[in-house]
A and B are shown apart, each in its own frame.
Chain A
Amino acid sequence: MTGATEKMTGARAFIECLSKEGVEVIFGYPGGVLLPIYDELYDADVRHILVRHEQAAAHAADGYARATGKTGVCLATSGPGATNLVTGIATAYMDSVPMVAFTGQVPGSMIGNDAFQEADITGITLPITKHNYLVPEAVELPRIIKEAFHIASTGRQGPVLVDMPKDVTTDELDFSYPEKVELRGYKPTFNGNLLQVKKAAQEISRSTCPVIYAGGGVISSDASSELLAFAEKIMAPVTTTLTGIGAFPGNHLLSLGMLGMHGTKYANYAIQESDLLITIGARFDDRVTGKIESFAPNARVMHIDIDPAEISKNVHVDIPIVGDAKEVLASLTKHVMKCKSENWIKKVGEWKVKYPLHYVNSDEFIKPQYIIEQIHEACEDAIIVTDVGQHQMWAAQYFSFKEPRMFITSGGLGTMGYGFPAAIGAKVGRPDKVVFDIAGDGSFQMNSQELATVVENDIPVIVAVFNNGYLGMVRQWQELFYEHRYSHTCISGSVDFVKLAEAYGALGLRAARPPEVRPVIDEAIASGRPTVIDFIVEREENVSPMVPAGAAINEILDLERKS
Chain B
Amino acid sequence: MKHTLAVLVENKSGVLARVAVLFSRRGYNIDSLAVGVTEDPTISRMTIVVRGDDHVLEQVTKQLNKLIDVIKVTDISSDESVERELALIKVTADANTRSEIIQIVDIFRARIIDVAAKSMTIEVTGDEEKIVGIEQLLSSFGIKEMVRTGKVALTRGIKSV
| Interface of A toward B, CB cutoff 8 Å | 122-123, 126-127, 130-131, 134, 151, 183-186, 307-309, 311-313
| Complex contact A127–B25 (CB within 8 A) | yes
Q: Which chain B positions have C-beta within 8 A of A185?
A: 9-10, 67-71
Residue in B17, B63, B68, B71 with the greatest tally of chain A CB atoms within 10 Å: B68
Partner of B63, one of A123, A183, A309: A309
| Complex contact A184–B71 (CB within 8 A) | yes
Q: Which chain A positions have C-beta within 8 A of B58?
A: 312
Q: Could you tell me the distance between the alpha carbons of A127 and B24 in the complex, rounded to whole angstroms?
A: 10
| Complex contact B71–A309 (CB within 8 A) | no
Q: Could you tell me the distance between the alpha carbons of A186 and B55 in the complex, rounded to whole angstroms?
A: 23
Partner of A309, one of B14, B18, B21, B66: B66
| Complex contact A312–B68 (CB within 8 A) | no
Q: Could you tell me the distance between the alpha carbons of A161 and B70 in the complex, rounded to whole angstroms?
A: 18
Least CB distance, B147 to chain A, in whole angstroms: 27
Partner of B55, one of A134, A183, A307, A312: A312
With contacts A185-B68, A308-B65 known, is A126 near B18, CB below 8 A? Answer: yes
- Extra 6 A-B pairs, beta carbons < 8 Å, given A151-B68, A309-B63: A122-B14, A183-B68, A185-B10, A185-B69, A185-B70, A309-B59
Q: Which chain B positions have C-beta within 8 A of A308?
A: 62, 65
| Complex contact A134–B14 (CB within 8 A) | yes
Q: Could you tell me the distance between the alpha carbons of A184 and B58 in the complex, rounded to whole angstroms?
A: 21
Partner of A127, one of B14, B21, B65, B68: B21
Query: Which residues of chain B in 110-133 are interfacial with respect to chain A, using CB atoms and an 8 Å cutoff?
Result: none
Q: Could you tell me the distance between the alpha carbons of A490 and B22 in the complex, rounded to whole angstroms?
A: 39
Q: Could you tell me the distance between the alpha carbons of A398 and B63 in the complex, rounded to whole angstroms?
A: 37
| Complex contact B62–A309 (CB within 8 A) | yes
Least CB distance, A111 to chain B, in whole angstroms: 12
Residue in A127, A130, A134, A185 with the greatest tally of chain B CB atoms within 10 Å: A185
With contacts A123-B17, A126-B18 known, is A131 near B68, CB below 8 A? Answer: yes
Q: Which chain A positions have C-beta within 8 A of B18?
A: 126
Q: How large is the interface on B (under 10, 10 to 19, 20 to 34, 35 or more residues)?
A: 20 to 34
Q: List 13 A-B contacts (CB under 8 A).
A: A127-B21, A127-B25, A151-B68, A185-B10, A185-B67, A185-B68, A185-B69, A308-B62, A309-B59, A309-B63, A309-B65, A309-B66, A313-B59
Q: Which chain B positions have C-beta within 8 A of A184?
A: 71
What is the 8 Å Cβ interface bit string for chain B, positions 1-38, against chain A (1 contact, 0 not)? 00000000110001001100110010000000000000
Q: Which chain B positions have C-beta within 8 A of A311?
A: 62
- Closest CB pairs A-B (n = 5): A309-B62, A131-B68, A185-B71, A126-B21, A127-B25
Q: Which chain A positions have C-beta within 8 A of B17?
A: 123, 126
Least CB distance, B161 to chain A, in whole angstroms: 14
- Chain A residue nearest to B63 (CB atoms) is A309
Q: Could you tell me the distance between the alpha carbons of A126 and B25 in the complex, rounded to whole angstroms?
A: 10
Q: Could you tell me the distance between the alpha carbons of A130 and B25 in the complex, rounded to whole angstroms?
A: 14
- Chain A residue nearest to B67 (CB atoms) is A185
Query: Which residues of chain B in 61-84 are interfacial with respect to chain A, using CB atoms and an 8 Å cutoff?
Result: 62-63, 65-71
Q: Which chain B positions have C-beta within 8 A of A126?
A: 17-18, 21
- Chain B residue nearest to A184 (CB atoms) is B71
Q: Which chain A positions have C-beta within 8 A of B68?
A: 130-131, 151, 183, 185-186
Q: Which chain B positions have C-beta within 8 A of A134?
A: 14
Q: Could you tell me the distance between the alpha carbons of A298 and B21 in the complex, rounded to whole angstroms?
A: 37
Q: Which chain B positions have C-beta within 8 A of A309?
A: 59, 62-63, 65-66
With contacts A126-B21, A127-B21, A312-B55 known, is A307 near B14, CB below 8 A? Answer: no
Q: Could you tell me the distance between the alpha carbons of A126 and B21 in the complex, rounded to whole angstroms?
A: 7
Q: Which chain B positions have C-beta within 8 A of A151?
A: 68
Q: Could you tell me the distance between the alpha carbons of A123 and B13 in the complex, rounded to whole angstroms?
A: 12
| Complex contact B71–A307 (CB within 8 A) | no
- Chain A residue nearest to B25 (CB atoms) is A127
Q: Which chain A positions have C-beta within 8 A of B55?
A: 312
- Chain B residue nearest to A155 (CB atoms) is B66
Q: Which chain A positions have C-beta within 8 A of B63?
A: 309
Q: Which chain B positions have C-beta within 8 A of A307?
A: 66
Q: Which chain B positions have C-beta within 8 A of A313?
A: 59
Q: Could you tell me the distance between the alpha carbons of A305 and B130 in the complex, rounded to whole angstroms?
A: 45
- Chain B residue nearest to A307 (CB atoms) is B66
Residue in A122, A131, A183, A184 with the greatest tally of chain B CB atoms within 10 Å: A184
Q: Could you tell me the distance between the alpha carbons of A201 and B154 in the complex, rounded to whole angstroms?
A: 41
Least CB distance, A13 to chain B, in whole angstroms: 21
Q: Which chain A positions have C-beta within 8 A of B25?
A: 127
Q: Could you tell me the distance between the alpha carbons of A130 and B63 in the complex, rounded to whole angstroms?
A: 11
Least CB distance, A131 to chain B, in whole angstroms: 4
- Chain A residue nearest to B21 (CB atoms) is A126
Query: Which residues of chain B in 26-53 are interfacial with respect to chain A, using CB atoms and an 8 Å cutoff?
Result: none
Least CB distance, B18 to chain A, in whole angstroms: 6
Q: Could you tell me the distance between the alpha carbons of A311 and B62 in the complex, rounded to whole angstroms?
A: 9
Q: Which chain A positions have C-beta within 8 A of B65?
A: 308-309
Q: Which chain A positions have C-beta within 8 A of B22?
A: 127
Q: Could you tell me the distance between the alpha carbons of A184 and B11 in the complex, rounded to whole angstroms?
A: 12
- Chain B residue nearest to A311 (CB atoms) is B62
Q: Could you tell me the distance between the alpha carbons of A150 and B21 in the complex, rounded to whole angstroms?
A: 23
Q: Which chain A positions have C-beta within 8 A of B21?
A: 126-127
Q: Could you tell me the distance between the alpha carbons of A185 and B10 in the complex, rounded to whole angstroms?
A: 8
Q: Could you tell me the distance between the alpha carbons of A130 and B69 in the complex, rounded to whole angstroms?
A: 11
Residue in B10, B59, B62, B71 with the greatest tally of chain A CB atoms within 10 Å: B62
Least CB distance, A399 to chain B, in whole angstroms: 34
Q: Which chain A positions have C-beta within 8 A of B62?
A: 308-309, 311
